[in-house]
Amino acid sequence: MAGAAVLGRLGPLRWRLAEVVEVVPETPSAATIVLDVPDWPGHRAGQHADVRLTAEDGYQAQRSYSIASAPEDPRLALTVERLENGEVSPFLVDELRAGDRIELRGPIGGYFVWEANGGPLRLLAGGSGVVPLMAMLRHREATRSEAPATLLYSARSLGEVLYRDELERLGAAGAGLRVSYTLTRERPPGWSGYDRRIDGDMLGEVFGPVDPAATAFVCGPTSFVEAAADALVALGHDPARVKTERFGPTGG
């Protein structure tokens, strides 16, 4: 019932018990957790959810994870990167199994979101900062949006790149999506992409002239996000159209 869905979306945040449908390894250090969430009110591309774990002695730990799935996907997917010494992510990536249940609340966020009619996309990802941007690209594909999109994805090595096969498919000729990589630490032999931290020259080459209708979404570690956002503004992008989301150690 549409009315119920609307009420659900506007209702206060509450914890729901979500059931793990499957855990899909993405890289040696990251996995996608596919969940069945009862009464999930739906989400917008770019939003996140909070996950809460409770130990037998009652100790609780809570973390935020970006939603990777498109709003059109009936199941909710979170991609989680394992942080060494993390309290929550090693459990989610290594221990969680289909049929397990975890507490989850969301969707959360109203700023770092993109709607399919929201104009051209300039996406900048640092490491697992690609996750909410992937939700935008999946939303773009699910709605057959013709908004041109460009993704610049900075990772330490090719082995750490998330969703590589899917990005290749989404970026196939004629799809209106261009994907560029920069690998900052380790390159495979014959690598022809970028091999350094992002800078103004790179952003100028990848994104071309400033398009006043475009919105840039930048997500990654704080140092990456601030360098990228500053460089975009220096190139002439309207600061109000450069949206940022910083990941931090609390992601553990």
Partner 1 sequence: MDADDLRLDGNSLGGLLGELFGREMTAALGTCASCGAVGEVATLVVYAHAPGTVGRCRACGAVLLRVVRAERRMWVDLRGLRSLQLEPLGEEP
Q: Which string of x and - marks every residue 48-87 that binds partner 1 (by CB under 8 A)?
A: x-x-----------x-x-----------------------
Pull the structure tokens for residue 237. Answer: 């992008």
Binding flag, residue 250, partner 1 (CB under 8 A): yes
Residues 15-34, one symbol each (x = binds partner 1 by CB under 8 A, - = not), give --------------------
Residue selected from 221, 232, 237, 241 as contacting partner 1 according to rule CB under 8 A: 221
With contact defined as beta carbons under 8 Å apart, do 218 and 229 qualify?
yes
Cβ at position 39, least distance to partner 1 in Å:
16
The amino acid at residue 87 is: E
- Which residue of 223, 230, 236, 238 would you call a contact of partner 1, by CB under 8 A? 223
104, β-bridge pairs: 16, 51
**Do residues 152 and 220 make contact, with C-beta atoms less than 8 angstroms apart?**
no
d(CA 71, CA 83): 27
Residue range at the interface with partner 1 (CB under 8 A); choices 73-81, 107-115, 159-167, 209-217: 107-115
E strands, 55-163, in order:
60-66, 76-81, 101-108, 121-126, 149-155
Find the shortest distance in angstroms from Cβ 250 to partner 1. 5
111 binds partner 1 (CB under 8 A): yes
What lies within 8 Å, CB to CB, of 147 at 6+ separation is: 116, 117, 118, 119, 120, 121, 140, 176
Residue matched to tokens 């969301």: 106
Name the residues that contact partner 1, by CB under 8 A. 10, 12-13, 48, 50, 62, 64, 105-106, 108-112, 115, 221-223, 225-226, 243-250
